[in-house]
Homo-oligomer: A and B are copies of this chain.
């Protein structure tokens, strides 16, 4: 039973390999009669696409979105939205010299074990190229949610050991004014320097993305298995290169006492603190939702690495392709997209909680 579909009512299904014709998807369950601005979807895609700056891979993709159905004269019909993004710059020759080796911490080995067949053109379905489709669906979800007063702020809060310790809702302008999407200029500067230093070594570095969601009404989340933070966790951990997820005070909660962590109610819509991260008992309480997602450093290094090939023989690989020294800046729009998909899905699910 395959896993190319996400969501229950607002639901996206995707297809496509990184070195094939293109990628695309179908979004089903979009309410009818809503205005969708396709230019804004393309803007979000542009934030994710490669080749944006010296902090990302030099691989060039236009990521030009084609909407094939479901929207007529700028409005949703209630029918599924089909969309396609052509693969322009696949250059599979970059991968040729490593095609029989299993790259360390990549998905080459596990895909081959699972399917018994290996796509020699490269990452194929395991490539993060697939996440462009998530950005399309998430961008549409954000446009719909914005009409309900729900808004998102997503940014980098850690690269290596450089950290922005803040859960503020920074606006888009501030975030986008940083080439790596860290809204505090001083901290951003240090992060940028670290990424470039690592890049010079042919190495890569990990980081953490944080999302703040304001305006989520109380009541979203479904007991007992589909708790809101459980589904946010799954959504985030389904993004390539993720290693951890935490909601509110997260792992820090494990070190604390109840008297330190409890969020006292101060009104019927507010709490004094927000260690809960806006979710209690798996259901939103109306306070801002905030969570963090940990990304490992990119596995492809421009350094020699030992590994084995398909025959179990030791080999040394040194990729010469174009790769990201740090994937976290490009992960920002993907994290935000998945968050928007989850929130809209739960918003629609909650419509049947009463008759």
Rounded to whole Å, the gap between the CB of A304 and the closest CB of chain B is: 10
The answer to whether A77 and B117 have CB atoms under 8 Å apart is: yes
* CB neighbours of A283 from chain B (8 A): 107, 110-111, 113-114
Are B264 and A104 interface neighbours, CB within 8 A? yes
Whether, in the assembled complex, A174 has its beta carbon less than 8 Å from a beta carbon of chain B, the answer is no
B-contact bits for A218-257, CB 8 A (1 contact / 0 none): 1111111111011101111110101111111111011111
Given the interface contacts A225-B6, A245-B237, does A262 sit within 8 Å of B26 by beta carbon?
A: no
Establish whether residues A15 and B79, one from each chain, have CB atoms under 8 Å apart when the complex forms: yes
**Is B233 within 8 A of A20, CB to CB?**
no
Kindly list chain B residues whose C-beta atoms are within 8 Å of the C-beta of A229: 237, 242
Copies of this chain: 4
B285 touches A115 (CB 8 A): no
Please determine whether A5 and B5 come into contact, CB atoms closer than 8 angstroms: yes
The number of chain A residues with a CB under 8 A from chain B is 155
* A186: interface (CB < 8 Å): no
Residue pair A282, B107 in contact (C-beta under 8 Å): yes
CB pair B106 A281 closer than 8 Å: yes
A130 within 8 A of B: yes
Assembly CA distance A72 to B104 (angstroms): 24
**In the complex, what residues of B have CB within 8 A of residue A284's CB?**
110
Query: Given A26-B4, A110-B284, A251-B244, is A119 in contact with B72 using a C-beta cutoff of 8 Å?
Result: yes
Find A82's partner among B1, B15, B126, B203 (CB 8 Å cutoff).
B15
Known: A77-B17, A254-B296. A223 touches B3 (CB 8 A): yes
Tell yes or no: A136 within 8 A of B by CB. Answer: no
Instruction: Give A8-44 interface residues, CB cut-off 8 Å to B.
Output: 8-9, 11, 13-17, 20-26, 28-34
Given contacts A160-B256, A261-B296, 13 further A-B contacts (CB under 8 A): A2-B223, A15-B28, A17-B79, A72-B121, A84-B84, A102-B265, A105-B263, A114-B221, A204-B259, A227-B237, A243-B253, A268-B312, A349-B352
**Which 7 A-B residue pairings sit nearest by Cβ, starting from the closest?**
A107-B281, A3-B226, A3-B222, A15-B82, A244-B246, A234-B234, A110-B283
Could you give 20 example pairs across A and B, Cβ below 8 Å? A5-B11, A13-B26, A22-B69, A31-B353, A32-B353, A72-B121, A105-B261, A105-B262, A109-B218, A109-B280, A114-B221, A160-B255, A201-B259, A233-B237, A251-B251, A253-B294, A257-B297, A259-B303, A267-B312, A268-B308
